[in-house]
Structure 1
């Protein structure tokens, strides 16, 4: 029974991992629009920079709370899994809560990406993605 639960958790993790990676690769972390070279390359104006700042703060606040909730759900799942006699139904319910909390965090990250695209426009967004894809590929080649 434990093997089934662990196997199920592994499958779910492997299924959700590409989604998390995709969301994480859409935009770099931090306030990249505050880097003069990037802002200039994208042609960002002061209004766009201020909008990005506001959206970053709003999104980051939400992500802190969502990440905290996800970690709490993970802790509860780990706690159930450490018991000698596992309550399969309770463990599966907790797994579902953990998955939902992780999904909410991924959605918030993706909402930020959508907001950024709306603020800077399609052309600048494509340029930004290309810039970071080249940068990421350069780092991978060095390793």
Structure 2
């Protein structure tokens, strides 16, 4: 019974992202958004700000790669221990794994805060609003593609349905 509970806890921890990721990263566009001319122009990014964002990203990405590897290592060790170790040892390893994952999430969130510091709170809000709209648009496109296929005529609100031109002729 205890092993079932531990497996359930492990499965839940693998499926649930860290709190920092949920609250911060999803509200921002993907990494490298400052490289897209349309976005940079929309919020009036200067070359100096782009350079600062790029430097901060590189530094953060290096840390995240190391932290991700550490979290994966701790997860592997947990899976190994789950097969034969005592519940106490498994729970101790689980704590190490969650700590490693939290450090990864904290670094992601630290980068978001640094981004806000570089571009200012007003433009940071603009970027968040733009990201929210992009996600909404992407969900709409995904819904249309799932239900209507990839036919571009069907994804346009006033487009004629297939075969309508043939019937009219």
**Unmatched runs of 5 consecutive residues or more in structure 2:** 143-169
Any idea what the Cα deviations from partners look like across 1:20-57, whole Å, max 9, x if unmatched?
A: 33333132223110111100101111111111011001
Match of 2:63 in 1: 62
Match of 1:108 in 2: 107
| Mapping for residues 122-141 of structure 1, pairs under 5 Å | 122-141=121-140
- TM-score using structure 1 length: 0.89
| Mapping for residues 1-143 of structure 1, pairs under 5 Å | 1-12=2-13, 16-17=16-17, 19=19, 20-81=21-82, 83=83, 85-143=84-142
CA distance in 2, matches of 1:94, 1:17: 18
Return the structure number with greater relative CO, CA threshold 8 A, min gap 6.
1
- Quick check: which one's helix share is greater? 1
The alignment's C-alpha RMSD in Å is 1.7
- TM-score using structure 2 length: 0.76
Select the structure of larger CA radius of gyration.
2
- What secondary structure sits across from 2:31 in the alignment? coil
**Unmatched runs of 5 consecutive residues or more in structure 1:** none
Q: CA deviation at 1:7?
A: 3.0
